[in-house]
Amino acid sequence: MITKFKTAFTTKLNAIGLPILALLWVGFFWGTTWIASKEGVRYIPGIQMAAIRQFIAGLLYILFFLYKKAPWPKGKQWNTIIILAILNFSLSNGLSTAGVKYISSGLGAIIAAIFPIWVVIIAFCRGERIAKLAVIGLLISFGGVCIIFYEYLADFLIPEFRLGILLSVTATITWAFGTLYTKKKAASYNPYYSLGFQMFISSILLFAYNGATGISINISEIPVDTWLAVAYLVVVGSLITFTIFIYTLQNLPPEISSIYAYMNPVVAVLLGAVIFDEPLTLSIALGGAVTLFGLYLVNQSLRKSRKKTNILIK
């Protein structure tokens, strides 16, 4: 009897408990990557840090699948890989990492979360009909962003702050284009292998940019703290947490598994306040909550549209 009870309990835990714990892991640790990025760019240019991170993570992915003797991409699959490498990693990840050098990690995380808004706007520009729920969500999110930036009005006089905002917002736009392109041109082979090639190719492009502009510093001059931040981003942010994220997608409904996207900014804002003494004011807390609620409505609209058209939008 006791054995049956333990078996039933374990089965129920695996069915419900472990996926929820995995979701909490993703929500927390992907939020901490903003802190690691902020720490790393204190000492080196953000583009250089993104290049190093993506080179190491991409190479590890590729070596693993070479060891597993997975088939290489073929033909037009390379076109998809190269385009996504440029959109999702060279531009989106590279620009967001560079941007967080000039703004708080919490603000960077909140801005990064607004990419579904661009997905809706791009779809509208293409002539697609926008649902009322999406419009309401857009308006609410815009209101939340206005509340947040009310606190930063004086900072817009600082060129570095304006640059950080510009880089971060541009990163969300390129990620939105990458998301839509992924939906349209999803590769038919192992997505992890594709991810590795995307990271590796993007790192080569970013290294080339660093070399052409001369903005990078000598590797021997990179401090230990930055290498620790890169190691954290590679191991925890890219390898471990991404694998756990896939597990949550396989074991939780989409409306639950997507909750991580609303947890990341909260974690980044709170940890940024504790670790870097970044401002945590009422307007940031209220504006962040309003923005995330609006994004929730936008995502709900996108999911309903996906169910109707059988199109995956992430």
| Burial category of 213 from C-beta neighbours within 10 Å (exposed 0-12, middle 13-18, buried 19 and up) | exposed
Say whether pLDDT at 81 is over 70. Answer: yes
Residue 205's contacts (CB-CB under 8 Å, 6 or more residues apart) are: 85, 86, 90
Q: How many CB atoms lie within 10 A of CB 239?
A: 17
306 pLDDT band, cuts 50/70/90, is low
Q: How many CB atoms lie within 10 A of CB 30?
A: 22
Give the angle 268-119-49 at the CA atoms, nearest 5°. 45
Euclidean distance between CA atoms 239 and 241, whole angstroms: 6
Give this prediction's pTM: 0.83
234 pLDDT band, cuts 50/70/90, is very high
Higher pLDDT, 250 or 177: 177
Please report, for residues 36, 46, 100, 119, the alpha-carbon distance to residue 96 in angstroms, rounded to integers and kept in the order given.
13, 8, 6, 18
Quick: pLDDT tens for 110-150: 898 888 888 888 888 888 787 888 888 888 888 888 888 88
Euclidean distance between CA atoms 66 and 306, whole angstroms: 35
| pLDDT at residue 311, as a whole number | 38
Say whether pLDDT at 45 is over 90. Answer: yes
Say whether pLDDT at 12 is over 60. Answer: no
Helices (H) and strands (E) in the chain, counts: 15, 0
Quick: pLDDT tens for 144-174: 888 888 878 888 889 999 999 999 999 999 9
77 token code pair:
């699959």
Please report, for residues 28, 76, 131, 195, 225, the alpha-carbon distance to residue 203 in angstroms, rounded to integers and kept in the order given.
26, 21, 38, 12, 21
In the predicted model, what is the mean pLDDT of the chain? Answer: 84
Mean pLDDT of 185-214: 84
Amino acid letter, 298: V
| pLDDT at residue 137, as a whole number | 86
Quick: pLDDT tens for 253-283: 766 666 777 888 889 988 998 888 888 888 8
